[in-house]
């Protein structure tokens, strides 16, 4: 589309006008008074919830401009959440109802389930096998070190007088490296195909799984008040059975699912429904077994990972193209080349199904998490000290874990690559808050540490990696 600069400027004016109209809508006095018919005609909470979803979506996407300065989008979503959640300090309290909106909380939870489903689909059983021993060692050391250091040293030292379960939860929040952020950074700096990158991603996947087992264990300890060896082993057994069983069944089931998907001719809708329902049912089964729903979603993702099937997205395009090629009687190298291009693109991965759903739901979780940070607590030097201490421990322990990468690998690179914490840590912190183990101070400190680990890693990692 070729548009003159004048017309382009008009487009910008239109956008600004729209912004002003929206701002007037949000103003306390309101442009338009609510109508009695509308208020009484059904579920009052529903329309305003539509508005909150729109607000969160737009806020999240505006915040994603942070990617332009090399930071991951998740950081922007957290920051914009903190901003929106703190507006009440300046007398703007129209967004406060979001914090207690039950439906928004459900959509956030659904968002996390979809995200872990997606992360599972990024991981795959076979990729976990291939990365092998060094990844496993880095993951184990990288889980044990921060867990031990924070639970038994940094936690009691910096925040004395809490229950032992609080320190356990605090330690657990710092165990899992964020697969998403790590992979994103490595891709952005063009180093995704190095052996260090493969070890980092493998280890991040494994420590996600370890982290999820730790979550189940710690949550049970908190709820039941004490550590019973029987309960402990049951939970570990359940998690191992669930994940292990899922992986075993998955290895057997995935190619069959793929073949089944290729055969059914009911179109996109059916495949979409099967994929999503698969993730949701696993999330439910996990919760039935005393595991977090996200563990189930992750396992479902692992199982579905190898499932590919025929293209459904642009079959018309493919067909038109084939028609044109045939019509013109193309042969030889060009025909081969074109066939190859068509072949590459006429199979689509199952992940695309959750893509748009993820765009819709996932930011709700992170913005809502950001909104729950009480900025006032950050004025407290105690919180700043706490966050600083946890951050240093969280970084050093992961860098130390890099040593486990073994000979021939750049250990510092691996260690730094393991620093970013993200989704899983925040989910732990949320759950700890829900269980009453963590107070606002600790919660705020953890969110700040997670934000800082994602903020600090990209420049350091790209700096160290580029030195090579």
Of 5-13, 366-374, 378-386, 389-397: span binding a copy of itself (CB under 8 A):
5-13
Residue 11 in the binding site for a copy of itself (CB under 8 A): yes
Residues 433-462 that bind a copy of itself (CB under 8 A): 434-435
Distance CA 340, CA 338 (A): 5
Please say whether the beta carbons of 410 and 402 come within 8 A: no
Nearest distance in Å: CB 193, a copy of itself: 17
Q: What are phi and psi of 135, to 5 degrees?
A: -60, -45
Residues 26-65 that bind a copy of itself (CB under 8 A): 30, 32-38, 40-43, 45-51, 53-55, 57-58, 60-61, 64-65
Binding mask 315-354 for a copy of itself (x = CB under 8 A): -xx--xx--x--xx-x--xx--xx-xx--xx-------x-
Residues 232-271 that bind a copy of itself (CB under 8 A): 235, 252-253, 256-260, 262-263, 266, 268-270
Q: What are phi and psi of 405, to 5 degrees?
A: -65, -20
Binding mask 212-231 for a copy of itself (x = CB under 8 A): ----x--xx--xx-------
Nearest distance in Å: CB 435, a copy of itself: 6
For 383, residues 6+ apart whose C-beta sits below 8 A from its C-beta are 377, 441, 444, 445, 448
Nearest distance in Å: CB 279, a copy of itself: 8
Nearest distance in Å: CB 271, a copy of itself: 9
Distance CA 257, CA 300 (A): 13
Residue 289 in the binding site for a copy of itself (CB under 8 A): yes
For 13, residues 6+ apart whose C-beta sits below 8 A from its C-beta are none
42 or 381, CB closer to a copy of itself? 42
What is the CA 447 to chain-centroid distance, rounded?
14
Residues 409-438 that bind a copy of itself (CB under 8 A): 431, 434-435
- Per-residue CA distances from 339 to 336, 343, 347 (Å): 5, 6, 13
Distance CA 369, CA 74 (A): 11
What is the CA 45 to chain-centroid distance, rounded?
28
SS3 percent helix, strand, coil of the chain, rounded to 5, is 80, 0, 20
Distance CA 299, CA 242 (A): 8
Size of the site for a copy of itself (CB under 8 A): 114
Distance CA 9, CA 262 (A): 48
Please say whether the beta carbons of 108 and 371 come within 8 A: no
Residue 355 in the binding site for a copy of itself (CB under 8 A): yes
Residue 25 in the binding site for a copy of itself (CB under 8 A): yes
Residue 295 in the binding site for a copy of itself (CB under 8 A): no
Residue 285 in the binding site for a copy of itself (CB under 8 A): yes
Nearest distance in Å: CB 222, a copy of itself: 8
Nearest distance in Å: CB 403, a copy of itself: 35
> Which is nearest to 441 in space by CA: 224, 217, 155, 211?
155
CB atoms < 10 A from the CB of 352, how many?
A: 13
170 or 378, CB closer to a copy of itself? 170
Q: Binder to a copy of itself among 284, 380, 439, 441 (CB under 8 A)? A: 284
Residues 83-142 that bind a copy of itself (CB under 8 A): 102-103, 105-106, 109-110, 113
């Amino acid at each position: 589309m070729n548009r003159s600069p004048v017309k382009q400027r008009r487009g910008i004016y239109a956008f600004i006008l729209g912004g002003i109209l929206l701002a007037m809508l949000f103003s306390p006095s309101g442009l338009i008074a609510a109508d009695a018919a509308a208020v009484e005609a059904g579920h009052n909470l529903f329309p305003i919830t539509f508005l909150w979803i729109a607000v969160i979506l737009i806020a999240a996407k505006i915040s994603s401009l942070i990617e332009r300065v090399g930071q991951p989008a998740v950081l922007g979503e957290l920051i914009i959440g903190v901003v929106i959640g703190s507006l009440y300090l300046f007398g703007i309290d129209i967004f406060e109802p979001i914090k207690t909106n039950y439906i928004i909380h459900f959509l956030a939870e659904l968002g996390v389930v979809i995200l872990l489903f997606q992360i599972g689909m990024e991981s795959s059983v076979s990729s976990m096998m291939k990365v092998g021993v060094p990844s496993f060692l880095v993951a184990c050391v990288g889980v044990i070190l921060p867990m031990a250091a924070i639970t038994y040293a940094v936690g009691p030292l910096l925040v004395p007088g809490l229950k032992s379960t609080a320190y356990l939860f605090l330690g657990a929040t710092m165990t899992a490296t964020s697969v998403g952020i790590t992979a994103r950074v490595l891709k952005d700096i063009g180093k995704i195909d190095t052996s260090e990158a493969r070890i980092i991603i493998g280890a991040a996947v494994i420590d996600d799984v370890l982290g999820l087992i730790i979550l189940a264990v710690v949550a049970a300890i908190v709820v039941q008040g004490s550590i019973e060896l029987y309960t402990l082993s049951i939970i570990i057994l359940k998690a191992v059975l669930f994940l292990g069983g899922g992986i075993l069944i998955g290895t057997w089931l995935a190619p069959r699912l793929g073949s089944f998907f290729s055969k059914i001719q009911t179109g996109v809708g059916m495949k979409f429904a099967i994929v999503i329902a698969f993730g949701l049912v696993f999330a439910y089964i996990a919760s039935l077994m005393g595991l977090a729903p996200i563990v189930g979603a992750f396992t479902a993702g692992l199982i579905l990972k190898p499932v590919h099937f025929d293209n459904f997205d642009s079959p018309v395009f493919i067909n038109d193209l084939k028609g044109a090629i045939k019509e013109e009687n193309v042969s030889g190298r060009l025909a081969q080349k074109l066939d190859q291009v068509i072949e590459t693109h006429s199979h689509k991965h199952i992940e695309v199904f959750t893509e748009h759903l993820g765009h819709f739901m996932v930011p709700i979780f992170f913005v809502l998490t950001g909104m729950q940070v009480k900025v006032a607590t950050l004025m407290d030097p105690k919180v700043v000290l706490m966050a600083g201490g946890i951050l240093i421990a969280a970084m050093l322990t992961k860098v130390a874990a890099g040593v486990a990468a073994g000979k021939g690998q750049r250990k510092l690179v691996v260690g730094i690559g393991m620093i970013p914490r993200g989704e899983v840590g925040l989910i732990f912190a949320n759950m700890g808050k829900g269980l009453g183990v963590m107070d606002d101070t600790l919660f705020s400190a953890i969110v700040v540490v997670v934000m800082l680990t994602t903020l600090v890693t990209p420049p350091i990692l790209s700096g160290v990696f580029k030195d090579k």
